Amino acid sequence: MNNLISKIPQTDKPRIVIVGGGFAGLKLAMKLSKSGFQIILLDKNNYHQFQPLFYQVATAGLEPSSISFPLRKIFQKHENIHFRVAELQSIDVSKKEIITNIGRLAYQYLVLALGADTNFYGMKDIETNAIPMKSTPEALFIRNTILMNYETAVNIDDRDEETALMNIVIVGGGPTGVELAGALAEMRKYVLPKDYPELDFTNMKIYLLEANSRLLKTMKERSSKRALKYLENLGVNVRLNASVKTFDGGTVSLTDGTLFRTRTLLWAAGIKANEIEGLQPELYGPGRRLLVNEYLQIESHPEIFVMGDMALLRSEDYPNGHPQVAQAAIQQARLIAKNLVRAGKGKQMLGFNYKDKGSLATIGRNMGVADLPGISLFGFTAWFVWIFVHLMAILGQKNKLLIFINWLWNYFTYDQSLRLILRQVQYKQNKTHE
């Protein structure tokens, strides 16, 4: 693709190209929409994804559409924002131009907010056989896979294979792994035995493996312990200090020699930032994050900003960078918006100061843990705060309402009802867009 991206108006406004419509990219575009810049936002999907609730899509509690919001709809009334479904292929830093699958685009400012993808730490067999959960389609894929495995288990007489189809192993004891394990344990308790009376659910094991000595290691020790207790009460087999070595699609082996039979390995053990062609290797830090200064600029290319999971800003309080969470991404977007406006007025930019507003995780009904500034909450209170915070954070009034109804319904009926194996139709046409 050597042409320019078409139908982008030429104006005398300075152009900011934002790549990625996650928490950071979306916030930045909205903050700057009336500030005299021309804003072009690119994302590989036509929707914004609310990542904290992927696990509820994976466990049949919420619809994909409740946590995915069409970007064009968000930008309808913002004529300075131009959106394209596009994938970044490389950056030509000398020409100040990006190359995408739909054409080239020049920028005055470039903001990289592509987020992170699953990190399999180079283990090819796990990449092939395990299932990650870093996108709405991947979450749906988990739902489909688990349900299909149960439909298969009903049809076989081989007891060992039946167990492998029923067992679920989750790797990674961060919030994603903990929340997935809790939700699956509740499905085992309230839903699956009623759906599959043919199967013996004393057979079904849910393992949660964490390489560290505790779960939720970014939270307070007491919260970690409480989460562990909740999970064990729900019957999850939590293994701490457990590292996965191999997975062939049927058996997981740990470095200590333990073996688990399972067809379903859910991988929530780590992320790495998305790679970008055209940036020198020395610009990257650990986890493939891009090293930035306190203004979140790449030092050698100050017209390029980085935010969210991709940015690595080393500071005294955070020598390894800020946590790769929504809060950090949103605060960074706010600062970059402010700084670009300041820069336009010839003012000095402000440095980034991360304000940790706390962490939350929910394990099951009435069971959550929350480390808020100055206070830790557990059980029902933490669970309730979690619900409130997530309902407030989700985009769109209709989504808030529909999610709330779904949660209320599931709460009172003990039932996650979206147990559909929805397979997609394959493209059979030679469409121009494929």
Give, as ranges, the residues between 230 and 259 that touch a copy of itself (CB under 8 A). Answer: 249
Q: Which of residues 161-220 bind a copy of itself (CB under 8 A)?
A: 161, 165, 194-198
Question: In this chain, which of 140, 211, 283, 335 binds a copy of itself, going by CB under 8 A?
Answer: 140
Question: In this chain, which of 120, 141, 284, 378 binds a copy of itself, going by CB under 8 A?
Answer: 141
Q: Which of residues 79-138 bind a copy of itself (CB under 8 A)?
A: 79, 82, 84-85, 102-103, 128-129, 135-138
- Angle formed at CA 48 by CA 397 and CA 433, multiple of 5 degrees: 125
| CB of 31 or CB of 48, closer to a copy of itself | 48
| CB of 105 or CB of 178, closer to a copy of itself | 105
C-alpha span between 117 and 132 (Å, rounded)? 9
Q: Which of residues 323-352 bind a copy of itself (CB under 8 A)?
A: none
Q: Which of residues 33-52 bind a copy of itself (CB under 8 A)?
A: 45-47
Nearest to 119 by CA among 206, 235, 30, 244: 244
| CB of 71 or CB of 360, closer to a copy of itself | 71
Task: Confirm or reject binding of residue 159 to a copy of itself (CB under 8 A).
Answer: no
Query: In the numeric block, which tokens belong to residue 355?
Result: 């304000």
Query: In the numeric block, which tokens belong to residue 76?
Result: 């309808």
| CB of 136 or CB of 339, closer to a copy of itself | 136
Q: Which of residues 258-277 bind a copy of itself (CB under 8 A)?
A: 263
| CB of 61 or CB of 321, closer to a copy of itself | 61
Question: In this chain, which of 14, 70, 270, 358 binds a copy of itself, going by CB under 8 A?
Answer: 70
Question: In this chain, which of 42, 98, 147, 336 binds a copy of itself, going by CB under 8 A?
Answer: 147
Q: Which of residues 351-380 bind a copy of itself (CB under 8 A)?
A: none
Q: How far is the CB of 22 from a copy of itself (least distance, A)?
A: 15
Q: Which listed range, 11-19, 156-164, 225-233, 286-294, lies at the site for a copy of itself (CB under 8 A)?
A: 156-164
Q: How far is the CB of 411 from a copy of itself (least distance, A)?
A: 12
C-alpha span between 310 and 24 (Å, rounded)? 11
Residues in the interface with a copy of itself (CB under 8 A) total 71
Question: In this chain, which of 51, 56, 59, 68 binds a copy of itself, going by CB under 8 A?
Answer: 68
| CB of 213 or CB of 432, closer to a copy of itself | 432
Question: In this chain, which of 151, 160, 221, 232 binds a copy of itself, going by CB under 8 A?
Answer: 151
Site string for a copy of itself, 385-424 (x = CB under 8 A): -----------x-x--xx--xx--x-----x-xxxxxxxx
Question: In this chain, which of 2, 76, 94, 213 binds a copy of itself, going by CB under 8 A?
Answer: 76
